[in-house]
Amino acid sequence: MKLFLIAGEPSGDRLGGALMAGLRALTRVEFAGVGGPLMEAQGLTSLFPMEELSVMGIAEVLPKYFHLKRRIAQTAQAVLDSGAGALITIDSPDFCLRVAHIVRAARPGFRIIHYVAPSVWAWRPGRAAKMARVVDHVLALLPFEPPYMEAAGMSCDFVGHPVVAEPVADAAQVAAFAAAHGLAEPWLLALPGSRRGEVSRIAPVIGQVLRQIDLPVVLPTVRGVEALVRELSADWPRQPLIVTDAADKRAAFAGARVALAASGTVSLELAANGVPMVIAYDMNWLSRILISRLLRVDTVTLVNLVADSRTVPEFLGPRCRADLIAPALAALIPDGPARDAQSQAMALTMDRLGKGGEAPGLRAARSVLAHLG
């Protein structure tokens, strides 16, 4: 069997890598498509660098519109020429579903599976019905999502979130990491995002926050934005330790006292490591206005949503300001009610996402194979 997979950003690459590992454990399979280093490690030769697709927001996409349009056409043709038995698109709906439309138009019976349900419970509920025109089956990360997809006409399985199966560094690994880098005390994790646009906006805010927080700073990042992160953090009042190695990242998360992070799946990585967090996010003014009018929930942080709590403070859009963020972050550093409340919410989140059960990548693989018969 041959499958064509598309991922457009690091979180999708993690999902794709785990799914591919699960598929390889269950059957003989070949892969083609677009992905990052984790998917490449499972045998994928990416059609082009995945980082080209890591853009978000209307204003961010517009300058790259024609290039992305060419990549969409190129990718769709590659699917049709690949001899694959199905297309699996992973998140990045603006790119992936445009590819799916072209493939479906050319081959109406071709099976298309989408990994990560659109957050129709948060905004733009009509997206599910539009997606159902080209997608047959959905792999959902969150336990409350299948009914939304099924109501739109797609089959859907909750497969759990891969974060619950990812390794967590132990005390010895954390100690070795701290010794190797001269970190004498617990540190703050600075996580300005994985896309160039969000890093450009959030990194300067983190720098301002650090003028009021007296902790060493560790900044895990990804290859696509590493150079930009180094450039934008050069004038921070505390120079961060920037890490890209996977083992170093695991130790950095496990040993952190607190985190200041861009909104996204990173909140689940922090929850898996029990790191209390503050979430900050901003975008281009036009994207900010449009999304604020469409948003249907009062929180965008996954820990808050899955645990049905509001324990993780958020500073979004016009509230993404150092003078508001720093006090909330400082309140999480000492032991106390704020840390305890987050600890309870993070533990509940992990349980609801499938911790202790079969690995989500394997569950996703079983769902794919069951759907394809």
Lateral strand order in the sheet of 86-90: 30-34, 2-7, 86-90, 111-115, 137-140, 155-158
Q: Which of the residue ranges 49-58, 204-213, 333-342 would you say has the lowest mean pLDDT?
A: 49-58
* Distances 256 to 6, 45, 149, 187, 189 between C-alpha atoms, Å: 33, 35, 37, 5, 6
pLDDT (tens digit per residue) in 185-211:
899 999 999 888 899 999 999 999 999
pLDDT (tens digit per residue) in 162-171:
889 889 999 9
Q: What is the residue range of 12's domain?
A: 2-160+357-372
Question: What value does the mean pLDDT take over residues 92-102?
Answer: 94
Cα 332 to Cα 60: distance, rounded to the nearest angstrom: 33
- Residue 237: which CATH number? 3.40.50.2000
**86 contact partners, CB below 8 Å, separation of at least 6:** 3, 4, 110, 111, 112, 113, 368, 372
Question: What are 74's two structure tokens?
Answer: 């190129």
Cα 8 to Cα 297: distance, rounded to the nearest angstrom: 25
Question: What value does the mean pLDDT take over residues 311-339?
Answer: 96
148 and 210 belong to one structural domain: no
C-alpha angle 165-123-111 in degrees, rounded to nearest 5:
60
- The 3-state DSSP class for residue 3 equals strand
Q: Is the pLDDT of residue 44 over 90?
A: yes
Classify the C-alpha dihedral 245-248-253-256 as positive or negative: negative
Confidence of residue 58 (pLDDT cuts 50, 70, 90): very low
Cα 329 to Cα 205: distance, rounded to the nearest angstrom: 13
pLDDT (tens digit per residue) in 223-233:
889 999 999 99
Question: What are 180's two structure tokens?
Answer: 């190797």
How many structural domains compose the chain? 2
Cα 221 to Cα 206: distance, rounded to the nearest angstrom: 14
Question: What are 348's two structure tokens?
Answer: 């509940």
| pLDDT for the residue 56 | 47
146 and 198 belong to one structural domain: no
Q: What percent of the chain has pLDDT over 70?
A: 94
Cα 71 to Cα 155: distance, rounded to the nearest angstrom: 29
- Examine residue 103 and state whether it is found in any structural domain, yes or no: yes
149 and 205 belong to one structural domain: no
55 and 108 belong to one structural domain: yes
**62 contact partners, CB below 8 Å, separation of at least 6:** none
Instruction: Report whether 260 contacts 205 (CB < 8 A).
Output: no
- Examine residue 166 and state whether it is found in any structural domain, yes or no: no
- Examine residue 212 and state whether it is found in any structural domain, yes or no: yes
95 and 220 belong to one structural domain: no
Q: Which of the residue ranges 78-92, 292-306, 320-334 would you say has the lowest mean pLDDT?
A: 292-306
Question: What value does the mean pLDDT take over residues 310-330?
Answer: 96
Q: Label each residue of 196-222 as H, E or C.
A: HHHHHHHHHHHHHHHHHCCCCEEEECC
Q: Which of the residue ranges 36-45, 138-147, 291-300, 330-339 would you say has the lowest mean pLDDT?
A: 291-300
Confidence of residue 62 (pLDDT cuts 50, 70, 90): low
149 and 200 belong to one structural domain: no
Q: Is the pLDDT of residue 248 over 50?
A: yes
Q: Side chain identity at 131, as an amino acid letter?
A: M
- Examine residue 165 and state whether it is found in any structural domain, yes or no: no
Select from 268, 248, 228 the least CA-distant residue to 355.
Answer: 268
180 and 290 belong to one structural domain: yes
228 and 91 belong to one structural domain: no
235 and 331 belong to one structural domain: yes
DSSP state of 4: E
113 and 250 belong to one structural domain: no
Instruction: Report whether 89 contacts 100 (CB < 8 A).
Output: yes
| β-pair type (155-158, 86-90) | unpaired
What are the backbone dihedrals phi and psi of residue 333, each rounded to the nearest 5 degrees, phi first? -75, -50
CB count in 10 Å sphere of residue 223: 13
| pLDDT for the residue 300 | 84
209 and 94 belong to one structural domain: no
